[in-house]
Structure 1
């Protein structure tokens, strides 16, 4: 009995230590609102990165992770050393997601907090705690989300409502910049981590990490790792358990020693049997409790499902009432009609992001899956009608999945981004690029000057400019558009490399932010370069001095900047110089110094190249240069 009592005590000690450790991990969750900041101590805003782990089941592809961080797949793939943007990811694979870090005033109590504001649409089953800890992997806290969203009730979140999730980040100060610290990577500290291992993994130093974060770091806190450049991870960091210890070799030199060993083994087996019996008894008790709990949950689930269906039906009726003014203008499609058109939203029919190609009654459409409430977007789209804007044909409401679908005209030749930066063998010649620039300028002039109130697109970029069969440009994706301007917002949304500085720092919404983004597109058309490079440096910041010096120096520097394919053709450098002048004026840091879209259209149309080879009806066969 003494032996059994001893083993029982040992088993109870193991259980005690296990629960003590579990309690410690639970209490280690961060509860801070965020990290205070000051624009006088660090350079805000800044481009930085967070380390995100690919996790099953929802985040094993770049598309879902890109949607979570409001960036494209290539913007994660390039810094993360991922060669194929469509292949599934390995669990626990390390990824770098780019974010715009700002010093944001929360309220008078908490002051300025350093974070990147990411827009997130609430779905069924979401809570602030679940999205913060599971989806965003503790890169923020539920308490911070509550503080940043004072108008939302955490216990009564409505499906389809937009919430801001503040992703913790920091920007380097001037001293760190001088020491070539370009990024402070946001990383969630794990129980097995230490500063030395992090320094080795990220190519930093232990002391520099301590200087930024201090010594009092708990598991699941966000730490900021100073680096001059992003490390290149070649494979997932998958931990493997240590090999089992080799079996003990029993010596049999004399019988007495063997008897002692045999007695020890026998006692050990008895102890294990006792633990097994105790475990079986506990398991039986646990199973009985689980069965009772499962029955109770089934009853609650049935009650909840009935209530949720009623809520969704009410929400459907409510949304139809909101968009009732547009029912005569747009066709209302059925969800089964869209499923049939897209082979049940098959991945092979994805055009980009959540946009699918579908055929209905022989007509090809672009079908965009989006959040529940399409009212704001429909309100804007119903009052715009221009040849350089992608036309909305209809919409669909799916109350069961809490989704809304917008059905657009299908634009055959894809995005400008794919022609400039994709793997196409054909490249656009200068006259086609100039025609595209004028088309986009005309579309923006229309929404800025001929709608009341004015419409600000807020997301002009090469991937939102589509080319039809005649290589004429149409502006797409009014998901972030705002009716009315000269307003201040705390919800900063947009795409890295295209966002105007005053919008990042002050949240100022005006037509001049579209002008800035259009200027970045002009730089892409001239240079063939992407709006942001692999090191996170923006394209528009590299062109300050190109048009300085003598005429010969200007031409030389411009040729060095231009797309290699444009230099293969005979083009007017005066025409390129004219467009470059417009592009630089558009990206002026002072919005008051940027031209209006009326002035831009006039300046671009002055070029002799506009109508010499590209007609109003479409591009000639010579509008594409074949790469050699």
Structure 2
């Protein structure tokens, strides 16, 4: 039956709206009909995580036309974005220019789909759908955002709230014959043939990765995978390479429309031609002067940047090299200025005078703990960590992580006179967790819900560095003194000084804190993410018991005491044993023994002597989320301790 004209017109209008490219979609709060695609399925034949890419078009969705803004959106430095596209970081992308954005693609154990997590701070008017379709250009779908953030209410998001947006991606299998896969959002008019040409691949490879062109994809779920056959940025696909030509002044794009040839024998034509010729010569001269001016400014900027770091060795020569200070304890390793250009690009380089002025000359009154000082600089408060120049590994790790449960690095400074290096972090108002647990007055104000949220925050931070970085990051020094609490009592992991990248490494240099060190690391030097899981289990015991990781009297580790008094009895009597063992400050409150016992059970699993039998932080975060949900009905309104020391409703 032929539909009525009005219905046909409405259907055509809806089809046209759906067919619009992602950047041009309406930014209203309307929610479209649910899409069937929530990403690419995890594959048992694939190794996760891996390097992946997304094809992103610059200048849409309110994201400024600059690599720094695009990098911030995807938790990458502008150096990483520019490098992936073989461009200078001083270049400015054109509106609509296709760019390859590097992703760390993973497949969490409880997720059916592969994705790269992107931490996004909610602004006024944002919804899961609006951010997915505008800023992220349909590189994810709002249904997937809801699945990854099960505790958030999409219609009740707070401004400033951090939400994880899963950017769809996939890791290649051996059968894919690809060095990496690109997530590409199909545009109206795209076909497999046109996309294959744009990426210099064969159309059959798109069929192998995504299924037949007709019937499996539609513009409500337009993401497909495209293989890269060669390494980026040594080789770039035509869709990126051809658009990058316009950003290189020395290689202007050839005109697609040849200039008309005018043949005339009259004098007016000669004069006109001469005028045009002089105009062209003048234009070329002016362009040359502009290019020389840009080159001069660029060389001056590069000289200032090189000077900012090369002074660490007291020698601006040696081709811009500098060495670790002899007193730094890091060995005589050499680094190139280019090696840390991405750190300079992402972080502010502070002056020594700024730090000395902000800390009163590193006076003891500004000392927070260890070698960390509180600094007041230009009306802002920072935490400054003073150390010898052995911060290279820490900087390498910090520049590639970005999560709300990790302490944020704001910048750094190198003192050329002393060889000291200063890392400048955000200031976390309420200090370290151990101070709250060991101080009886503070411990009484740290109720069970607050402790459970601290455990969850710490789990989310560890899950991020274990599952969503490549190579994987092992913190190696998880302990209550390295867990900082902000003014809302949300936990942040600090101090990546011992952190290492890689998995299943072996070392003979054992470092760490007594009471938190995993048995396999102490015995064999085995460095894996499971050593962080073990230390996390100890922190859970501290949260439950309010006791230190090692007894001052006997020197017995807390986990050994828990093993003897909690873990060896019958499971059905665990709640009674926990009630007798828990922090007296908790016993004074209305605290559900079942919720506490569930956390103790998680700690027991984390402390298993066999690292292979310990849970992943994904499993831990999931279990604790369920414990928090069940506790919500029990405990009523949540509270948090404000920085002033009072109680504030959350």
The normalised TM-score by structure 2 is 0.46
